[in-house]
Structure 1
């Protein structure tokens, strides 16, 4: 048996943390000397302590560690996968904050160097498409939908005949539970297999369109251009649903400065 100071030195874990783990009930001493009250630890407890440490270093809090220590291997792996996704989402959120800081700096400096957006109105025909429509946690989840659609078209050997595009069915901007439909133009209709279906998209007689060059952060400026254009062209009102075509994006262009996105807002005449 080792006294707490000795165990601390051998495991390279501070006495403060060992006492904390004892209070939390995840690593209690093997014995407590009834005469001195000293905490005594055994060598057999070191593997459990090491497990606590790697779970802590993986981002789990004490309550999550307590649960993890009771799980079998498969359940523990599932919990770690859940924590990984949680951390990835947190990183994405922090990256979005950094992007917004740069946007704020740009606005403070008077929008110097901001790109210009040319708005044009065109007629969009109906398209025969393979469709995947889901309500997803947020707009960042669209990438997961594209991976799902790509895997399906590859497995089913479905030939895509034109530019794929996204349709955003919500009538307002949403922070969560976003209704997104991915559309891939195809030569012929196939057999539907949930959640995929084949359908004809609706034609749009008047669609306001603009091209966005560069990083996705530039999309904000494009929507401002739409707002200014709509105010000047009062014979039109914006309608729904909006569309987006990523001609060049993360999957076919490594340099964000060379991304090319087309935004489309349906119009109705007043």
Structure 2
């Protein structure tokens, strides 16, 4: 029998950790002196402790290790836990590899631009579903503010008075047969019930697990040049744009009559 200090020296595990394992019920002392409260361990308990250490090195939590060491657990359950941990680690490796690829791309851009940081930062993010009221039409982009004004007038009719500081969305659907016009949709987020008709539509914009996003200043009445940077990034980082989905622009604030701070969002998927 070994006192806790001796057992700590043998196992190279701190006394604090051994006491914590005792509290969890993960490795309880073989006996405790009722008079002194000293904890005593046996040599055979080194095998259990070494297994705990090995499982920790594999990335299992202490709670998971308690299940793995449970005498009632079957070999099939142990195999399943190992497979889940394997999948978890593989996903982490893929995430880190993606991060490494993005870092390498940034480094190349910085080197090509003579150590200057890129003008726009591009990030991957998820977006939640959002209820909006919108107008969709085939129009020349310069007339987009007129559509927004029309939408705001409709909302005011039902007691909703949008502020210039409130975001609005523009969905660029594209139109191959429109010549000078573009299939555009302007939308305002809503939190209350608004009636709809042939001109004004209430809908829930779908969620996306992954969009490539870029925040920038852009002209209100034309296509943003930052979309070119976004397209270059998508191609360089081995993503592709999801088919048949509009490009979203979330106009966060309007600095003046000509420029707006906007976020462009493109739904993307990884190229396998």
Normalised to the residue count of structure 2, the TM-score between the two structures is: 0.49
Structure with larger Rg = 2
Normalised to the residue count of structure 1, the TM-score between the two structures is: 0.49
